Chain A
Amino acid sequence: MKKALFSALSLALLYGCASTPVEPERPAAPSVQTPGLPVAPPLAERPVQPAAPQIDLSKRSVFFEYDKYDVRDEYRPVLQAHGKYLAENRGKKMLVQGNCDERGSREYNIALGQRRAEGVKRMLVLMGATEAQVEPVSLGEEKPRCSDHAEGCWSQNRRSDMLYGGEY
């Protein structure tokens, strides 16, 4: 009983951010890419008895600080979920698209966005995916989710998105 409780607790910790209701990550902006992105079914209600671990693949974005491309710890669980999924489904492929806010040279931002995609790819490979399954690419500042010249918008655009084959 104690062992089961411990497992339930550690699962709760590991999937802490995933167990909260899945809120829409994308603001309803008309120019956002890939409408109709299939979302994994929401987590089933937590059973009283700990069930097999649910993998929440609905979270697809990793956000970054200005001029930075290192993946923050808070995203480990998300990347662990996707890495595990890719490890268990070797036929699945993923495109990681890195993005930047509007500031600076467009071409330099292609390179910076690429670093943000690479960072996520490296994590996914550590978590079980193979190199061949994940292609990191950059959209630079070319496909922003919003267009205000302010940090509220810029922070939304500094991100990497994970797309599975068939979604792009």
Chain B
Amino acid sequence: MRSRTFAPLLAAILLLAGPARAQLTIEIIGGGANQIPIAVLPFAGESALPQSITEIIEQDLSRSGRFRAIFVGGVSPPPTEIAQVNFPEWKSRLADAVVIGQAQRLSDGKFEVRFRLLDVLKQSQIGGIAFTLTAAQTRLTAHKIADFIYEKMTGERGVFSTRVAYVVKQGTRYELRVADADGQNAQSILISSEPIMSPAWSPDGTRMAYVSFQNKKPILFVQNLTASKQPAPVANYRGSNSAPAWSPDGKQLAAVLTKDGTSQIYLMSADGTNLRRFTVSGGIDTEPFFTPDGQSIYFTSDRGGSPQIYRMPAGGGESVRITFEGDYNVSPRISPDGKILAYISRVSGRFQLMAMDLESKQVQTLTDGQRDESPSFAPNGRIILYATDVDNRGVLAAVSSDGRFKQRLGIQAADVREPSWGPFLGN
């Protein structure tokens, strides 16, 4: 069994303001297909931890839509070794897999948590890990365990230990927040009496670019999330500065400036130096997005008469039009594997999320909202987070990339918008 001690990576993400107020709550509103039935048994000794680690694991797995939690009542004491597991019982409860584990406090005040993921039919261990952690790392440990289980059972990387950024508006108070993917543990990055938009994580998760209106016009900032420094404006030219997008190597930003007249896309180093123009058209070019291989930039342009999505080589060259159905296609985002283009399309006056397979060019409608916007892929490409509204309140929603599984995330008495899913962090 592997043993891991966490470098306090998450603790090192020092955030300027303190813990945020009301948290993001998550509501599942559409079931997924082919859910894997899994029994997550309580870990022996887990009451020593500040939170129930198995409850967090079970909630993570259920919320992903890929798992169905099997009832684990009536098993006492919780088994900690394979020999103690009653496999026929779990087979009769129709579980494909069982998770067992144990936790104990160590003499130095830290904790050890170890778990095993077991195959019910084969009656054997699929895998297991032992962790050493501080009390403050309980949630993160639970998410890492859920990631491990998710990956072993689905073959895809889990995103339970990633973070999401979003903007909260309450009256005239705007906050840029970062929370765990389950909505917990929200921290304020920026609080302002003027709007904030377009948060964009650097690929290594250490910096956040965003647009702030604190000077009564849009200005682009980059904030270092790991150091308590004043955010630096990287673009404050005449007119409007917006739509930041990171190159995959984290060294460059694409952004939209109006310094030369119309809204055009420029490239710059991550600190704002070395500015050079990227698009040249007489109209609007905006919403740049790098492909994961860094070779191309997708963007929105009305050069053809209506807003459509185009692609250009990152080093410059001919642009190619990508969308042809409808008269309003905007907000291009490419999946981490480079195969899917997610975007917003206006269909009969409604703004909805679409996914195009870039090879076959087939388009699927993923949502049927009225005002869906700002899509953001999870780093495993499996879920798309986006903004919408319900009952006159801005909320976030998530849909699986095949359109089948849906969730809604909101905060009471506030508008939530502009989501941006952060990258995988470390290992």
> Which residues of A does B touch, CB under 8 Å?
30-31, 95, 97, 102-108, 110-115, 117-118, 135-140, 142-143, 147, 149, 163, 168
Contacts and interface: CB of A to CB of B under 8 A. Distances in A.
Interface in B229-246: 238-240, 242-243
> Per DSSP, are chain A's interface residues mostly helix, strand or loop, or mixed?
mixed
B217 A95 contact: yes
A41 B217 CA distance: 28
5 contacts: A30-B171, A31-B171, A104-B351, A137-B216, A138-B218
Contact of B216 (A104, A108, A114, A168): A168
Contacts of B346: 104
Contacts of B198: 106-107
Nearest to B287: A107
Contacts of B331: 105, 107-108
Nearest to A132: B238
Interface of B: 171-172, 195, 197-198, 213, 216-218, 238-240, 242-243, 256, 258, 261-263, 284, 286-287, 300, 307, 328, 330-331, 344, 346, 351, 370-371, 373-374, 392, 418
A142 B195 contact: yes
A74 to B, nearest CB: 25
B240 A110 contact: yes
Nearest to B264: A111
Contacts of B328: 104
Given A110-B218, A115-B262, A142 B239 contact: no
A107 B242 CA distance: 7
Contacts of B263: 110-111, 114-115
A105 B344 CA distance: 8
Nearest to A142: B195
A9 to B, nearest CB: 40
- Count chain A CB atoms within 10 A of each CB in B239, B287, B346 and give the residue with the most: B239
The 4 closest A-B pairs by CB, nearest first: A137-B217, A111-B263, A142-B195, A105-B330
A60 B172 CA distance: 23
B239 A106 contact: no
A106 B284 contact: no
A137 to B, nearest CB: 4
A112 B371 CA distance: 18
A97 B217 CA distance: 8
A137 B240 contact: yes
A72 B198 CA distance: 32
A139 B36 CA distance: 47
A28 B10 CA distance: 45
Nearest to A108: B330
Contacts of B392: 147, 149
Given A107-B243, A142-B197, A143-B195, A118 B261 contact: yes
Contacts of A168: 216
Contacts of A113: 240
B374 A106 contact: yes
Given A114-B240, A140-B218, A168-B216, 8 more contacts: A105-B330, A105-B344, A110-B243, A118-B261, A136-B258, A137-B217, A137-B239, A142-B195
Contacts of B351: 103-104
A110 B263 CA distance: 9
B284 A115 contact: yes
A135 B239 CA distance: 6
A135 B217 CA distance: 10
A75 B227 CA distance: 50
A122 to B, nearest CB: 10
Contacts of A31: 171-172
B329 to A, nearest CB: 10
Contact of B373 (A97, A105, A114, A136): A105
B213 A114 contact: no
Q: Name the residue in B240, B261, B330, B418 with the highest tally of chain A Cβ atoms < 10 Å from its Cβ.
A: B240
A124 B413 CA distance: 42
Nearest to B418: A106
A102 B387 CA distance: 13
Contacts of A135: 217, 238-239
Nearest to A168: B216
B330 A137 contact: no
Given A115-B262, A142-B197, A108 B284 contact: yes
A108 B242 CA distance: 10
A140 B217 CA distance: 10
A160 to B, nearest CB: 13
A76 to B, nearest CB: 23
A142 B213 contact: yes
Contact of A111 (B216, B284, B344): B284
Contacts of B418: 106
A137 B331 CA distance: 21
A38 to B, nearest CB: 16
A111 B374 contact: no
Nearest to A110: B242
